[in-house]
């Protein structure tokens, strides 16, 4: 019997996550606002990013769907929810997404270096999807 995916999207999960994502877009952290100002409108290698985007059971800070790249900007709350973040990241990576994580401080102190890492990840391309048993 195949293992049941605990992160499988339930029928009404998207309906619950979408309004939450909209609220999160209205109140970005200063680091998220700064990074968004640099990646929006196809400014990075001409690729399209979305912010506070729903992917399955997760709301990710930034996503380039074409490159299967997720960028997370972590604040203090992520220190308390590291296990949940790890599970969510594993779920995304199992579906071929590459996940980059940056702290709020790093984005605010050196956004150019953060952009350089995003550019490098875009050039490398999506992760190879693991083989399913």
Q: What is the pTM of this model?
A: 0.82
pLDDT for 4-50, tens place per residue?
A: 555 454 556 767 788 888 888 889 999 999 999 999 999 999 999 99
Angle at 63 between CA 117 and CA 3, to 5 degrees: 110
């Amino acid at each position: 019997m195949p293992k049941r995916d605990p992160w499988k999207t339930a029928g009404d999960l998207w309906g619950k996550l979408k309004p939450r994502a909209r609220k999160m877009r209205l109140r970005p952290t200063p680091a998220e606002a700064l990074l968004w100002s640099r990646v929006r409108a196809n400014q990075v290698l001409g690729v399209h990013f979305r912010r506070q985007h729903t992917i399955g059971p997760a709301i990710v800070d930034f996503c380039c769907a074409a490159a299967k790249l997720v960028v997370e900007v972590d604040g203090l709350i992520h220190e308390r929810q590291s296990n949940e973040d790890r599970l969510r990241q594993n779920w995304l990576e199992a579906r071929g997404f590459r996940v980059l994580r940056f702290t709020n401080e790093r984005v605010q102190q050196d956004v150019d270096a953060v952009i350089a890492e995003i550019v490098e990840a875009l050039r490398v391309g999506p992760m190879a999807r693991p083989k399913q048993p």
